[in-house]
Structure 1
Amino acid sequence: MTFSIAELFAQHSTDKFDLHEQYLNNQMVRVLKTIGYDRHYQSARGQYLYDQNGVEYLDLLSGFGVFAIGRNHPTVVAALTETLNLELPNLVQLDVSLLSGLLAKELLKTTPDNLTKMFFCNSGTEAVEAAIKFARYTTKREKILYCEHAYHGLTMGALSLNGEHVFREGFGPLLPSCSAVPFNDLAVLENALSTRDIAAFIVEPIQGKGVNLPSDDYLPEVQRLCKQYGTLFVADEVQTGLGRTGKFWAVEHWNVQPDMICMAKALSGGFVPVGGVAMTDKIMDTVYNRMDRAVVHGSTFSKNNMAMAAGLATLHVLREEKLVENSATLGNQIIAELNALAPQYEFLKEARGKGMMIAIEFHAPKSLTLKAAWTMLETANKGLFCQMITIPLFKEHHILTQVAGHGMNVVKLLPPLNLTDKDRQHIVTSFDKTIADTHKVPGSIWDLGKNLAAHALKGKTGG
């Protein structure tokens, strides 16, 4: 009997929710069914998903930014197929691989000039774990500084740098000697660094939770202060890197040179997990300073041929299709056109971001009827209003988006970088229609709001 994945899909095409309820995270299934996202997707191409009825959905979530070049890109598929068919030696371990050397060379062509060495791993959180260890060993200091509301991953070290309480609750005690400072506050940062016992300051150039942008002088001053007090400046570009913000690396917007850049997500092409840390010679040579320390930090599956091939093919696509440039041009157009809607709608505060990392923030209106409706939702659960945006966008306009973080009235877009002008028009028109509907009180969209509030209150009371 032959083994066939295609046959398994055909036999179990509508079984995924039952399987997850029985064997995996059944709470995720409950969430999807509650908000009406329980679709049976059958295929995916580029920026689009297709369900069992052939309905097309514009994916502005892109697997939390993984599918920057779109889903199932033929160039990456071909590279992976070719790699499998070559029957290459893989993970020999007492050897070094050609493909990892080639990927390191190509990546370091894109980074600031001071970064000359690469460490590969399997994910963004592993990249952050490596940065923590490398910083401690290089500086001979223990303490790590991070920002409030930061997100750096969910393994124990990375979680210790996570500024959102909801992810940390119940998992302590976490890594000692880690402390937070406010994002974009140089005075507090300098006060913390002035103790001269901080190994590293790890910061997202643009915070993912909420898409919070720094002031123009923040990162340049971060670089200066870190250098002054002997602290390593680590940029977490797991989400912002590889063209997401309209530059290859977000730090390019402010012309800074971190001591390390953490990367992952888009580098995989969406197929094989791959992460990495670009760093200075000094850091690499300090950590791996003797032959008996050659394996002092690593990961079994890092540098595997499939991951490295996916990374090389992804970089090729980014260059050949000019996706970084497209991210800058089309992303900034979307931000500008959404902002142009703000004078029409009391709920809409602003659109912000860089490239195709976009936030649309909502706030309390002034008119009494709208304010009462807003308060009803906020009382039930802070940030609930955004569900009244994301759910109709999905059900009525077939656009997949996400809320930017817990308790935030911010919708976040992380689309593939290959969006077209037609996609841009669809996005702006759909947001316009959906936001307009929220201003009709009473109205069908507020029936949804009442149901969401009821579910939220039921959850709080344990019903």
Structure 2
Amino acid sequence: MSFSIADLFTQHFDEKFDLHEYYLNNQMVRVLRTIGYDRNYKKAIGQYLYDEDGNEYLDLLSGFGVFAMGRNHPTIIKALQETLTLELPSLVQMDVSLLSGLLAKEILATCPDNLEKMFFCNSGTEAVEAAIKFARYTTKRSRIVHCDHGYHGLTMGSLSLTGEHIFREGFGPLLPECTSVPFNDLAALEQALSNKDVAAFIVEPIQGKGVNIPDDNYLPEVERLCKKYGTLFVADEIQTGIGRTGKFWAIEHWGVKPDMILMAKALSGGFIPVGGVAMTTHIMDTVFNRMDRAVVHGSTFSKNNMAMAAGLSALHVVHEEKLVENSAKVGEDIIATINAMAPKYEFLKEARGKGSMIAIEFQSPKSLGLKAAWAMLEAANKGLFCQMILIPLFKEHRVLAQVAGHGMNVVKFLPPLTLTQKDRDWIVNSVEKTIADTHNVTGSIWTLGKNLAGHALKNKK
């Protein structure tokens, strides 16, 4: 009997939630069913998802940013199909691969000119782990400084640099000698670096949790302070890189030159896991400084031909379709249009972001009726108001988005960089209608709010 993925998909299409409940993370299934996100998607093209009834959804999650070129991009599919049929030698190990060399060349051409070497791995968290090791070996120091509320991954080293308590709880003790400082606080950073014992300062140019944007002088001063105290400046661009913020790298907004750039997510167009570290020649040559050290750090599946082909074709799509420019243009328009709504709606504090990394923050209103309703939600679970935005956005307007982090009243959009004028109108009209509905405390949206508060209070007991 022949083996067919298409047949398996057809035969078991209605079983996915049951399979996950029995064999995988049943709590995730509970979450999806509770908030009404338990859809059976059948097809995905570009920025759109389609359910079994043919309904079209606008995906503003893009797989947490991996589908920056949109889902199932034909150019990347063609490259992967071609790679499979060529019968190329892959992962020979006692060899070096052509495709990884070509991808390294293409990536480094987009980086600041001080970065001349690449290391490939399988994911963003592996890139962070590599940066920790490379920084320690290069500087002969052990301390790593990171920012409060930062997110760098969930393996043990990167988790030690991740500021969200919910991810760390119960997994300690974590990596020693990791120190956090407030984001955007230069005085605190200088104090942390001043003993000249810090190997690296690892920072997201824009924090993913909350979409927190630094002051204009922050990253230039970070670069200066790191040089002053002999600390490596590491930019975690795993989410912000490859066009996400309207520049190829987010650091371009501030004109800085870090010692390492960490990347993953969008690098392969979402098809094959791949991550990487761009670094100075000094770092590479220090870590891999003798022939017997040629294999002191690596990863079995890194540099595999499928991942490298995906990366090469993804970069081609970004340049060919001018996705960085589109990200900047459409994102700026969405942010400005939502901000123009703020005078009309008490709950709306601001929209912020750069390019296609967008946050909408909500706030306690001034009028008594709305303020009481807000307080009811906050007492049940801080940040619950966001679910009153996200659930109607999804159910009524078929727009898929997420909260920007735990315990904050911030909704986050991380769409493909391929958004059109139609998508822009879809987003702003859906957002305005949903926000307007929240200002009617007798409306159905507040019935949802009371139900959410009830669930939250029940879970606290």
User: Considering the TM-score relative to the shorter chain, is it more than 0.5?
Assistant: yes
Between the aligned partners of 1:191 and 1:159, the Cα distance in structure 2 is 23
Which residue matches 2:407? 407
Counterpart mapping for 1:302-317 below 5 A:
302-317=302-317
Shift of 1:434: 0.2
Unmatched segments (≥5 aa) in structure 2:
none
Shift of 1:268: 1.4
Counterpart code for 1:78: K
Between the aligned partners of 1:224 and 1:441, the Cα distance in structure 2 is 51
Which residue matches 2:157? 157
Between the aligned partners of 2:122 and 2:332, the Cα distance in structure 1 is 31
Which residue matches 1:185? 185
Counterpart code for 1:434: T
Counterpart code for 2:394: F
Q: Does 1:123 align with 2:108?
A: no
Shift of 1:442: 1.3
Which residue matches 2:452? 452
Between the aligned partners of 1:245 and 1:441, the Cα distance in structure 2 is 36
**Cα deviation digits, residues 264-287 of structure 1 (max 9, x gap):** 000011100000000000000000
Shift of 1:416: 0.2
TM-score, structure 2 as length reference: 1.00
Counterpart code for 1:254: W
**Cα deviation digits, residues 133-187 of structure 1 (max 9, x gap):** 0000000000000000000000000000001111000000000000100000000
Unmatched segments (≥5 aa) in structure 1:
none
- Secondary structure at the aligned position of 1:37 is classed as coil
Which residue matches 2:298? 298
Between the aligned partners of 1:458 and 1:88, the Cα distance in structure 2 is 57
Between the aligned partners of 1:17 and 1:356, the Cα distance in structure 2 is 31
Counterpart code for 1:223: E
Between the aligned partners of 1:75 and 1:457, the Cα distance in structure 2 is 49
Which residue matches 1:350? 350
Counterpart code for 2:453: A
Shift of 1:125: 0.3
Which residue matches 2:84? 84
Which residue matches 1:271? 271
**Cα deviation digits, residues 246-303 of structure 1 (max 9, x gap):** 0000000000000000000000111000000000000000000000000000000000
Runs of 4+ aligned residues of structure 1 deviating over 2 Å after TM superposition are none
How many residue pairs get aligned? The number is 461
Between the aligned partners of 1:175 and 1:268, the Cα distance in structure 2 is 30
Between the aligned partners of 2:443 and 2:383, the Cα distance in structure 1 is 20
Between the aligned partners of 2:57 and 2:270, the Cα distance in structure 1 is 18
Shift of 1:55: 0.3
Counterpart code for 1:160: S
Between the aligned partners of 2:291 and 2:277, the Cα distance in structure 1 is 21
Which residue matches 1:208? 208
Counting aligned pairs with the same residue, the percent is 79
Shift of 1:222: 0.1
Counterpart mapping for 1:82-121 below 5 A:
82-121=82-121
- Secondary structure at the aligned position of 1:179 is classed as strand
Between the aligned partners of 1:422 and 1:333, the Cα distance in structure 2 is 13
- Secondary structure at the aligned position of 1:14 is classed as helix
**Cα deviation digits, residues 290-331 of structure 1 (max 9, x gap):** 000000000000000000000000000000000000000010
Counterpart mapping for 1:45-444 below 5 A:
45-444=45-444
Between the aligned partners of 2:198 and 2:165, the Cα distance in structure 1 is 23
TM-score, structure 1 as length reference: 0.99
Between the aligned partners of 1:48 and 1:438, the Cα distance in structure 2 is 26
Superposition RMSD in Å: 0.3
Counterpart code for 1:455: H
Between the aligned partners of 1:63 and 1:408, the Cα distance in structure 2 is 21
Between the aligned partners of 1:176 and 1:224, the Cα distance in structure 2 is 26
Between the aligned partners of 1:402 and 1:22, the Cα distance in structure 2 is 26
Shift of 1:75: 0.1
Which residue matches 1:26? 26
